[in-house]
Structure 1
Amino acid sequence: MYLPAHFAETRTTELHALIGENPLGTLVTVGPDGLDANHIPFELLTGQGEHGVLHAHLARANPLVEQIVDGMSVMLIFQGPQAYISPNWYPSKHETHQQVPTWNYQVVHAHGRIHLRDDERFVRGIVARLTREHETRAQEPRPWRMTDSSPDYIARMLAAIVGIEIEIERLVGKFKLSQNKTPQDVAGAADALAHSGHAELAAAMNKPLV
């Protein structure tokens, strides 16, 4: 990933926060037919390992299950808020007419090693925790629980998936938030974003750099 220094985000807490808020990761692997990508919701355990550990599950029918070699290297992409930036949003454009369009975004690449975890207890735990987390986010008045279905049905569903665990070895963050612009231009673009339905990206641009 092309990463100019002024867009590099190296704080682990910020990188973990983006993953936690945007858990649908793109798992990139190399198989017999070349590069492959699978889109999977992940659970991040920040207290394990130097950079954290990721848990998820795959459909047993997914060809990737047979292609995984224990400990092989993989890359995951977690995409945060993103949006087009118009030059018209920069106050300086109207003075100099020397601005061009761009795209602002936040993204984290997690590099690590993958392991299959094909045991019922591990898989049940992942499903239970992911369900609890995202039912809470969905603000359901009566959150769905695994016990809403019969034990036999849940057992069949769990038998159709396998768990994966990824030890994160390296995190690379790119937070492209107009850091190469003047404070006035950043404020102008952030204000326009906030008024066009991109409040999360606007807030990230307005967040003080530490």
Structure 2
Amino acid sequence: MYTPPAFREDDPAILRRIMREARLATLITATEEGLVATPLPLLLAETEGEFGTLYGHVAKANPQWKLPTAHDALVVFAGAEAYVTPSWYTTKQEHGKVVPTWNYEAVHAYGPVEFFEDEERLRDVVTRLTELHEKSREQPWAVTDAPDAFIGAQLRGIVGLRLPIVRLQGKRKMSQNRPEADRIGVAAGLAKSEKAGDRTVAAMIPTGPARTS
């Protein structure tokens, strides 16, 4: 991921926040047949290892888990994003030398991926993922709500994955490199959007001196 210094993000807390909020990630592996990618929800065990460990599962019919990998796997987490029109820049009126861009945040996590079929480990991963995404509901659904034999049959149709993260690369492009007046204009423009994601990005636009290096 190309990351100019102004947009580089190394704060572990921010990187973990982006990974948690992404909800759906993309697992990419380099195999003899080429690159293979699967979108899937992942659980971040933040205290397991230096950078944390990712857990999830793929369908057993998905050939990705059977293909030998030549390098560490890559997991892409896409965070908040929004289109930025140059019409929001005050510098547009000053000299017109502006173009559209995109504000976004992303994290790339690298590490060796392990696939497993052990039912006990699979049940643990499925349970933890379910609890993560159900906890905000008034009446959360639990794995134990379904018949045990049914869950067992479902588990036989998936393969678990564990990926200890060995390297993290983070990027937050939120107009840091623009003059303050431009950033104020971007924040104001996004805040008026009908799209919730745009309004989320509006709140992320920094104030103060621009970061150019």
TM-score norm. by structure 2 comes to: 0.91
**Structure 1 equivalent of residue 22 of structure 2:** 22
For 1:20 and 1:169, how far apart are their aligned partners in 2? 18
For 1:84 and 1:146, how far apart are their aligned partners in 2? 39
Note the residue ranges of structure 2 that are not aligned, 5 or more in a row. Answer: none
**Structure 2 equivalent of residue 89 of structure 1:** 88
- In structure 1, the residue corresponding to 2:176 is in which secondary structure? coil
Say whether residues 1:8 and 2:30 are aligned partners. Answer: no
For 1:62 and 1:68, how far apart are their aligned partners in 2? 13
The size of the alignment, in residue pairs, is 206
TM-score norm. by structure 1 comes to: 0.92
**Structure 1 equivalent of residue 202 of structure 2:** 202
Amino acid at match of 2:178: K
Give RMSD over aligned pairs. 1.8
Say whether residues 1:132 and 2:131 are aligned partners. Answer: yes
**Where has structure 1 moved over 4 Å in runs of 4 or more?**
none
Alignment deviations for residues 56-94 of structure 1 (CA, whole Å, 9 cap, x no partner): 11111110121145x951111100011110001112212
Percent identity over the alignment? Answer: 38
Note the residue ranges of structure 1 that are not aligned, 5 or more in a row. Answer: none
Judging changes above 3 Å, is the alpha-carbon distance between structure 1 residues 142 and 9 closer, same or farther for their aligned structure 2 residues?
Answer: same
5 Å-filtered alignment, 1:74-153, equals: 74-137=73-136, 139=137, 141-153=138-150
Alignment deviations for residues 151-171 of structure 1 (CA, whole Å, 9 cap, x no partner): 110110011111110010110
For 1:207 and 1:77, how far apart are their aligned partners in 2? 28
For 1:208 and 1:125, how far apart are their aligned partners in 2? 46
**Structure 2 equivalent of residue 162 of structure 1:** 159
For 1:33 and 1:68, how far apart are their aligned partners in 2? 9
Greater shift in the superposed pair: 146-155 or 163-172? 146-155
Amino acid at match of 2:73: V
Q: Post-superposition shift, 1:8?
A: 0.4
Amino acid at match of 1:195: K
